[in-house]
Amino acid sequence: MAGGKFRLWLLLVGAVLVVTAVAGVGGERAAVPALFVFGDSLIDNGNNNNLASLAKANYFPYGIDFADGPTGRFCNGYTIVDELAELLGLPLVPSYSQASTVQEVLQGVNYASAAAGILDDSGGNFVGRIPFNEQISNFESTVSQIAGAIGAAAASRHLAQSIVFVGMGSNDYLNNYLMPNYDTRRRYTPQQFADLLVRQYAGQLARLYRAGARKFVVAGVGAMGCIPSVLAQSVTGQCSPEVDDLVLPFNANLRAMLDGLGAGGLPGARFTYLDNFRVFRAILGNPAAFGFAVVDRGCCGIGRNGGQITCLPFMPPCADRDRYVFWDAYHPTAAVNVIIARQAFHGAADVVAPVNVRQLATL
């Protein structure tokens, strides 16, 4: 095939693929072409399944309320990004480990990995995991795959219109700074550690930008002082203000950094900050208003507060899962995830700023 005809054929094939991708669920037009996801176990959907890792959730009762059963999601049903994908009119985003066809990756990929951190060594106690730096490398491979299918210019437009969701940082605290076998806490004050993390994070977001990302939703670290694993460390089952106070400097630094990048640090990029901490504290402060009755134990777990040993294979979970805030020792239930996602999509500036996800999609 002559060069000119081949280029024309490539463009036609690319156009068909892009139009099909943007069609969304049920043939209706999606709000954005794709959703690309980076993070940890809060939004992992199976990337750790085939790793030599202690951080896995591809067994029952995980996924008990999910249509496909246990997939590697660390809850009973939907994660935050599952609900966000639906709100955007997209199909559920496949994990990087399972996405194979160009058609699949055109509508987004989930690169998140349980135990992953901003720092490469965070989560090392769980052995296998995919740190944020490696997740970005996987995204760069996906970008090359898309460009090879639809052409570089079309790929650039496609990525610029898509949404990138990033939720990192929890493991840098729970499975690094707070771990006795790490020397991080002896080397850094909480503020120094927050400064270190956000400097690294800024470079990583810039790397995503250089790969073509333009619309970012970046979640802060949520309130962790009341998760069952922390409650279980207190004989009285009390929350730990000290743990919550640790992450506040990080969230403050992160928001300031995103404001700087959005104000011209990365031209053409738009950054939205999701205040997970505020949403979670609101739920814990008035659980009945959100439909919850149990806030002090995991639905599936062993020991004090259901948090001393997390959910084990084939362990019977609680029956009324929609009434529980926590699914296991570390993670919220699907009911909480859906609330957070809807706040991200529709919420006001006290939760998601400067615009919510619905508004970001239209920009």
Name the residues annotated as catalytic.
Answer: 41, 328, 331
**223 has which bridge partners?**
none
Positions of E strands within the chain: 35-39, 163-167, 215-219, 270-274, 294-298, 301-302, 309-310, 324-326, 352-353
Sign of torsion over alpha carbons 300, 305, 307, 309:
negative
The answer for 51, left when phi > 0, alpha when psi is -120 to 50, beta otherwise, is beta
Read off φ and ψ for residue 17, nearest 5 degrees.
-65, -45
Buried b (16+ CB within 10 A) or exposed e, 31-43: bbbbbbbbbbbbb
Q: Please say whether the beta carbons of 207 and 111 come within 8 A.
A: no
In a 3-state reduction of DSSP, which class is residue 205? helix
DSSP-derived 3-state class of residue 267: coil
